[in-house]
Amino acid sequence: MAKRLSEKQKKTIVKFFLQGRAVDNLAEEFDCSKTTIIRNLKRSIGDDKYKELSDQSKTTDQSINSQEEKDAFERDNFSEKEISNEFAEDNLLKEDFSPITPFTEITPLNFEIEDSLQKDLSSVSINEVNLPKIVYMIVDKEIELEVKYLKEYPDWQFLAKDELNRKTIAIYLDLKIAKRFCKKEQKVIKVPNSDVFKIVARLLQSRGITRIVSDDQLIAL
C-alpha cells in the first residue's frame, strides 16, 4: 500500500527539494515511492517550477559526476605510473624473475535475464484500503461518473501497457483538490460513506471499471 504522508512531511519534502535534495533521496528518507514525492511536489509548487528545479538538479549532478570521474581518472593514472616505476626499479635489483602464475580462462556464466513486463505492484485491494468516511467525486451535469483510462494519469505511466488500458474513476479526499480538477461542464459531489465503493464494486466491474485513483493510491476493485 502506498504510504500516506502527513502535511508536516509534505512541507518538509518541499523545503528539502527547494534546497536541492534529489527525488530519489527524498523517497528513501521518507520511505515512500518516487511517484508519491513527485506528485506532492507538483501539487505544492506547480508543474513548471518542479520541472525547472528538477532540470537544475540534473545539471548539477552531471557536473559533479563529471568532476568526480575526472579526479578518479587522474588518481588511477598516477597510481599506475607509480606502480610501474616501482616494478621497474625492483626488477633491476633482482637477478631472477619470480615465476608467473599460469592464467586460467573462466567460461562466462550464461544467465538468462528475464525481460518480462513490469508486474503491477502498485494497486491495493478495495477490501484492504482504509478510506476516510467522506470522499468527493467529479461527475457531469447528468450525474454520470467521469471514467478515464489509467494511461491518462501521468503519475502512473510507469505501469505495464495492459494495466494502463484499464478504466478508472477518481475519488478525492479533499474538496478543494476536487474543485481544482472540476471542469465547467462538471460538478463535484459528496460521497457521505466511502464504503459504498465496496458495495458497488461488482457493478463497476460490469461496466469495465476496475481501478479507483485516489490521491497517492491505486485501488483495485
Per-residue model confidence as pLDDT tens digits over 89-140: 555 444 444 455 555 656 555 444 443 344 345 789 999 988 999 999 999 8
28 DSSP 8-state letter:
H
Q: How far apart are CA 111 and CA 5, in angstroms?
A: 40
What does the pLDDT look like over 129-139, one tens digit per residue?
A: 889 999 999 99
Establish if 114 belongs to a structural domain: no
Long-range pairs, 12-19, Cβ under 8 A, ≥24? 13/37, 13/40, 13/41, 14/40, 14/41, 14/44, 14/45, 17/41, 17/45, 17/53, 18/45, 18/53
> Whose grid coordinates read 544467465?
111
Determine the straight-line distance between the first and last CA of the chain, rounded to whole angstroms.
14
Same domain, 82 and 54: yes
Count of the separate structural domains present in the chain: 2
Same domain, 18 and 98: yes
- The residue among 72 and 158 whose pLDDT is bigger is 158
Establish if 194 belongs to a structural domain: yes
Same domain, 99 and 128: no
Q: How far apart are CA 171 and CA 148, in angstroms?
A: 12
Label residue 166 by pLDDT band (50, 70, 90). very high
Over residues 20-49, mean pLDDT: 90
Residues in Cβ contact with 11 at an 8 Å cutoff, skipping those fewer than 6 apart: 44
- Point out the domain boundary residue: 51, 75, 104: 104
Same domain, 146 and 88: no
Over residues 155-168, mean pLDDT: 89
Structural domain that includes position 49 = 1-104
Over residues 42-51, mean pLDDT: 88
CATH of the domain at 187: 3.40.1350
Residues in Cβ contact with 121 at an 8 Å cutoff, skipping those fewer than 6 apart: none
Establish if 116 belongs to a structural domain: no
What pTM does this model have?
Answer: 0.49
Establish if 145 belongs to a structural domain: yes
Same domain, 54 and 149: no
Same domain, 3 and 92: yes
Asked whether residue 86 carries a pLDDT value surpassing 60, the answer given is no
Q: How far apart are CA 54 and CA 40, in angstroms?
A: 14
- The residue among 188 and 55 whose pLDDT is bigger is 188
Establish if 7 belongs to a structural domain: yes
Same domain, 3 and 82: yes
Task: Specify the pLDDT at position 103.
Answer: 53
Same domain, 206 and 128: yes
Same domain, 198 and 150: yes
| 30, three cell numbers | 521518507
Task: Specify the pLDDT at position 125.
Answer: 92
Establish if 112 belongs to a structural domain: no
Q: How far apart are CA 203 and CA 190, in angstroms?
A: 20
Same domain, 182 and 89: no
Three-state SS at 55 = helix
Same domain, 170 and 215: yes
Task: Specify the pLDDT at position 102.
Answer: 55
Residue ranges of alpha helices (H) inside the chain are 7-18, 23-29, 34-45, 47-93, 161-164, 175-181, 196-199, 201-206
Q: How far apart are CA 105 and CA 86, in angstroms?
A: 28
Establish if 38 belongs to a structural domain: yes
Q: How far apart are CA 134 and CA 99, in angstroms?
A: 81
Asked whether residue 83 carries a pLDDT value surpassing 60, the answer given is no
Same domain, 11 and 85: yes
Query: Phi and psi (nearest 5°) for 201?
Result: -55, -45
Task: Specify the pLDDT at position 52.
Answer: 87
Establish if 118 belongs to a structural domain: no
- Point out the domain boundary residue: 70, 104, 138: 104
Partnered with residue 58 across adjacent β-strands are: none
